[in-house]
């Protein structure tokens, strides 16, 4: 950054536009459901997809797990970031702690950090089965065996992104019956 006569005249590095879980626009064209993190002890990461918990499908969400076939009909939306938490008590390093209320985006635009390069027009998939450093609930475009669910009928990439650059994902669970496991 250069400053001349007390005025900023240039910027060396571009600022990051958004971060995972940040709602991507300020319009009223969005809907977030209030749920709680039903994980036994794990945080739910901002900007990742979540599924309804089998013991409390109306109120609780967890990371996707077990299989794509089991997760597809339980897809609940994307965990939205908020500053409405008590730091150190309700939030960890990646998102809300266990048993804490959270907002799940079911209709609207949100920043996510995809596993791979994505561009508008690409398919939208969410990882369910993980191995190694993979993260349940992360989004991608290509199929990975039977480890993902295909959200292309209810979601689309609005901007490009990569594993280091957040992309805007638009989601509309109105057609949630169209979510299917990759085969």
Once rounded to an integer, what is the mean pLDDT over residues 109-113? 97
Residue at 142 is within a domain: yes
What pLDDT is stored for residue 139 in this prediction?
Answer: 98
Q: Domain count of the chain?
A: 1
143/12: higher pLDDT: 143
| DSSP per-residue letters across 136-147 | TT-EESS--TTS
Residue at 9 is within a domain: no
What pLDDT is stored for residue 183 in this prediction?
Answer: 78
Question: In this structure, are strands 31-37 and 60-62 parallel, antiparallel, or unpaired?
Answer: parallel
CA 61, 27, 25, 12 dihedral sign is: negative
**Would the pLDDT of 125 be above 60?**
yes
| pLDDT, tens digit, 9 for 90 and up, residues 42-69 | 999 999 999 999 889 999 999 998 899 9
Asked whether 78 and 169 are in contact (CB, 8 A), the reply is yes
Residue at 6 is within a domain: no
Residue at 123 is within a domain: yes
Residue at 7 is within a domain: no
Instruction: Domain of residue 122: give its range.
Output: 17-181
Asked whether 18 and 114 are in contact (CB, 8 A), the reply is no
Residue at 134 is within a domain: yes
Asked whether 47 and 115 are in contact (CB, 8 A), the reply is no
Of the candidate ranges 21-30, 71-80, 155-164, the one whose mean pLDDT is the lowest: 21-30
What pLDDT is stored for residue 114 in this prediction?
Answer: 98
C-alpha to C-alpha distance for 130 and 28, rounded to whole angstroms: 35
Residue at 112 is within a domain: yes
Quick one: which H or E segment has residue 34? strand 31-37
Model confidence at 170, in pLDDT bands (50, 70, 90)? very high
Residue at 66 is within a domain: yes
Model pTM above 0.75? yes
Once rounded to an integer, what is the mean pLDDT over residues 113-131? 97
**Would the pLDDT of 11 be above 70?**
no
């Amino acid at each position: 950054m250069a400053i001349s006569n007390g005025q900023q005249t240039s910027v060396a590095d571009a600022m990051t536009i958004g971060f995972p879980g940040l709602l991507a626009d300020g319009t009223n064209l969005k809907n977030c459901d209030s749920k709680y993190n039903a994980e036994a002890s794990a945080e739910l990461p901002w900007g990742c997809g979540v599924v309804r918990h089998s013991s409390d499908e109306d109120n609780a969400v967890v990371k996707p797990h077990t299989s794509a076939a089991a997760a597809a009909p339980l897809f609940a939306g994307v965990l939205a970031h908020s500053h409405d938490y008590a730091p150190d008590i309700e939030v960890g390093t990646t998102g809300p702690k266990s048993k804490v209320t959270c907002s799940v985006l079911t209709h609207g635009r949100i920043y996510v950090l995809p596993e791979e390069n994505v561009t508008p027009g690409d398919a939208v998939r969410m990882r369910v089965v993980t191995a190694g450093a993979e993260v349940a609930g992360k989004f991608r475009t290509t199929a990975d065996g039977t480890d993902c669910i295909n959200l292309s009928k209810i979601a689309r990439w609005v901007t490009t992104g990569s594993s280091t650059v957040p992309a805007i994902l638009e989601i509309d669970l109105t057609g949630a019956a169209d979510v299917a496991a990759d085969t």
